[in-house]
Structure 1
Amino acid sequence: MRVPSRSPGQQPGPSIPPAPARRAAAELPRRLPAVEPDLDAYRAAVADLLVEVGALAGATSTAARQVLIDQRLREPAIAAVLDATPSGLVGARETLLLEMARYQPSERSSAADLTALVRIYLLSRIDVMWWRDAPTYRTDVQVNQSADLVDLEWLRRRDLLRFRYQEQPTTLFDRGVRALRRRIRPGAAPQTAGLLFRRARREMVALLNDIAREFTVHAPAGTPPLWVTSLVRSAEHQYRLRRLGYAAMLPSGHCLGWAADVEMTWFDRFGARDTLAELLLARQRAGEVNVVDEGQAWHLCLAPGARGRLRRVYEAELGV
């Protein structure tokens, strides 16, 4: 079983090309499907698999779970998606089994149990399939210096954002201020760490602005604007999150710049959670995004086919 490297990028050292005859199978070019897989069938097959995983949740069922995963991932509806990801079906299977073997419950993790872990991993493979040719932001420096990303704070100060976010505190003083605000006004904002990088692709800004406007129209009166809890991340940061106990999958749409997480649980207090959920699922049915229920927040990834329209929207509405 291959173990994913914990290094965020290639390490320096001599480059010795492998002999072609011994090249690993994962490195060989794979023929991608001529027609994109049926995502409705994939999601339905994953839902069926999750029922069976839940029935084998006990610690004594490890072997039975592995047999189940081996069998079900080979079903055509699931295999078609996984085989179109960079690691292929075999790599996806190995990674999922490794994630399950390493799983430890954590209050920080969006994966409340093994079933949630499998759901998050498999549904997020749609992101990876869509953006299989997109380069990864491997380091924090690459995120901060990328010309493909815009500064959210610059846009916010010019009233060009329709959604809200908060930055992750980086000093002891800032953390103290955050904690004090939560004591004085509990529930005034979601319980989230905030954005480490206040940067995003222009298309993602346009998407989130569009969702935020629609949410404002349909949500009950007095509901706060859409709240974004995560956007672009570096692979370097993704590894940090994993060490802290978060279910930060790799590869990830966040590390490609095409994913965002939006708060859900906090909107229960305003009676607006179901409204937001239906708006997001409607966009998924329309083929614009992939949606993954991660509990407190829902994960969104933009579909490649919607990129051009949203880029035009950004340029027309924001003009920057």
Structure 2
Amino acid sequence: PDLARYRDAVADLLIEIAGHNGPEDLPKAEKVLTERLADAEFAPVLAASPEGRPAAVDRLLREVRHYQPQARNCAADLAAHIRIHLFALIDVMWWGSARAFVTDPDLLHAAELVDLEPLRRRGELHFRYRRQARALPLRAVRAADRRLRPERTPRTAGLRFARARRESVTLLNQLAADFAAAAPGTPPLWVTSLARSIEQQRRLRALGYTATLPSAHCAGYAMDIEMSWFRRFGATGVLEGLLLERQRAGDVNAIDEGQTWHLCLSPAAMARDAQAATTGG
């Protein structure tokens, strides 16, 4: 599918929906969306969905009907909610048939994922992340630190599972190196989310987060990168440019989710990495 054409069609659709952004505008927005999804520009991505075009459209319309503006929803308004779900269809097209990690133990024992902690201790990671605070004392310490130094680190819960595909680690290290070179003196790239189980994704949805299902996170092909925090360093434009450059090269699908940007590795990037590993390049 011509993804540039698809993304342009999404942008045009959002302009049409922009005047119907409130919860009371849902019927009008749904009507516009239903009509526009019949356009030829949307057909290849919808048809390539493993569930089939009708089911993909039905799922998208359900997500629109259930939209609720709230603090945990990364979509600032209805148009942003629709944009995120339309671009997430690219992830589904690529990885909707891939084996997902259904439960947390499935993810923890997945041989295709690597544990980031040993890599971090050996200095092999050029990006930053932090683990989710599960124990009450650590949560209290972090809360106190946020009050005293609110801008020291991004406002993120941290990784529940510090596990990722090797290809994701490679991409993040490359992005971190590019970011360091393009924005000297800025803190390193910060990763807020990597592989998730379907179990975790459902927990996030229940809490009101924009956690799509199916999700490339649940197959280990997606990651989220902090964006808003870098505004205080004047580096968001640089980082956005690097991510969009990777998208234009066909390496990733990039989705602006407000505080963070979502990245999904493309099958072409995965194949290229596998070829490089085979040849030693």
TM-score of the aligned structures, taking structure 2 as reference length: 0.95
Matched, 1:48 2:18: no
Instruction: Provide the C-alpha distance between the structure 2 equivalents of 1:247 and 1:117, rounded to a whole number of angstroms.
Output: 8
Task: Report the 3-state secondary structure (helix = DSSP H, G, I; strand = E; otherwise coil) of the residue aligned with 1:77.
Answer: coil
Q: Which amino acid aligns with 2:240?
A: A
Shift of 1:190: 0.2
Instruction: Provide the C-alpha distance between the structure 1 equivalents of 2:279 and 2:139, rounded to a whole number of angstroms.
Output: 38
Q: Which amino acid aligns with 1:128?
A: V
Matched, 1:210 2:210: no
Instruction: Provide the C-alpha distance between the structure 1 equivalents of 2:23 and 2:279, rounded to a whole number of angstroms.
Output: 55
**Cα deviations across residues 192-215 of structure 1 (Å, max 9, x unaligned)?**
111001100000000000000000
User: Mean alpha-carbon deviation: is it higher for 70-79 or for 266-275?
Assistant: 70-79
Q: Which amino acid aligns with 1:92?
A: A
Task: Report the 3-state secondary structure (helix = DSSP H, G, I; strand = E; otherwise coil) of the residue aligned with 2:224.
Answer: strand
Q: Contact between 1:202 and 1:314, CA under 8 Å: does it hold in 2?
A: no
**Cα deviations across residues 57-112 of structure 1 (Å, max 9, x unaligned)?**
24443332222111111111112101101222211221122112111111111112
Q: Which amino acid aligns with 2:222?
A: A
* Residue matched to 1:257: 220
Structure 2: segments with no counterpart, 5+ residues:
none
CA RMSD of aligned residues (A): 1.7
User: Mean alpha-carbon deviation: is it higher for 153-162 or for 129-138?
Assistant: 129-138
Matched, 1:161 2:161: no
* Residue matched to 1:7: none
**Aligned pairs (5 A) from 1:279-298:** 279-298=242-261
Q: Contact between 1:203 and 1:314, CA under 8 Å: does it hold in 2?
A: no
Instruction: Provide the C-alpha distance between the structure 1 equivalents of 2:22 and 2:127, rounded to a whole number of angstroms.
Output: 41
Instruction: Provide the C-alpha distance between the structure 2 equivalents of 1:234 and 1:272, rounded to a whole number of angstroms.
Output: 32
Task: Report the 3-state secondary structure (helix = DSSP H, G, I; strand = E; otherwise coil) of the residue aligned with 1:260.
Answer: strand
**Cα deviations across residues 247-270 of structure 1 (Å, max 9, x unaligned)?**
000111101100000000000111
TM-aligned CA distance change 1:313 to 1:166, over 3 Å: farther
Task: Report the 3-state secondary structure (helix = DSSP H, G, I; strand = E; otherwise coil) of the residue aligned with 1:85.
Answer: coil
**Aligned pairs (5 A) from 1:10-159:** 37-159=1-123
Pairing partner for 1:246 from 200, 203, 209 = 209
Instruction: Provide the C-alpha distance between the structure 2 equivalents of 1:146 and 1:304, rounded to a whole number of angstroms.
Output: 20
Count of residue pairs brought into register by the alignment: 280
TM-aligned CA distance change 1:109 to 1:58, over 3 Å: closer
Q: Contact between 2:96 and 2:215, CA under 8 Å: does it hold in 1?
A: no
Task: Report the 3-state secondary structure (helix = DSSP H, G, I; strand = E; otherwise coil) of the residue aligned with 1:174.
Answer: helix
TM-aligned CA distance change 1:91 to 1:316, over 3 Å: same
Task: Report the 3-state secondary structure (helix = DSSP H, G, I; strand = E; otherwise coil) of the residue aligned with 1:55.
Answer: coil
Q: Which amino acid aligns with 1:227?
A: W
Moved over 6 A (4+): 312-317
**Aligned pairs (5 A) from 1:269-308:** 269-308=232-271
Instruction: Provide the C-alpha distance between the structure 1 equivalents of 2:269 and 2:92, rounded to a whole number of angstroms.
Output: 16
Structure 1: segments with no counterpart, 5+ residues:
1-36
Instruction: Provide the C-alpha distance between the structure 2 equivalents of 1:224 and 1:139, rounded to a whole number of angstroms.
Output: 34
* Residue matched to 1:201: 165
Matched, 1:309 2:278: no
Q: Contact between 1:128 and 1:251, CA under 8 Å: does it hold in 2?
A: yes
User: Mean alpha-carbon deviation: is it higher for 67-76 or for 41-50?
Assistant: 67-76
Instruction: Provide the C-alpha distance between the structure 1 equivalents of 2:24 and 2:151, rounded to a whole number of angstroms.
Output: 40
Percentage identity across aligned positions?
53
Q: Which amino acid aligns with 1:292?
A: I
Pairing partner for 1:228 from 174, 177, 191 = 191
Q: Which amino acid aligns with 2:246?
A: R
Instruction: Provide the C-alpha distance between the structure 1 equivalents of 2:276 and 2:119, rounded to a whole number of angstroms.
Output: 15
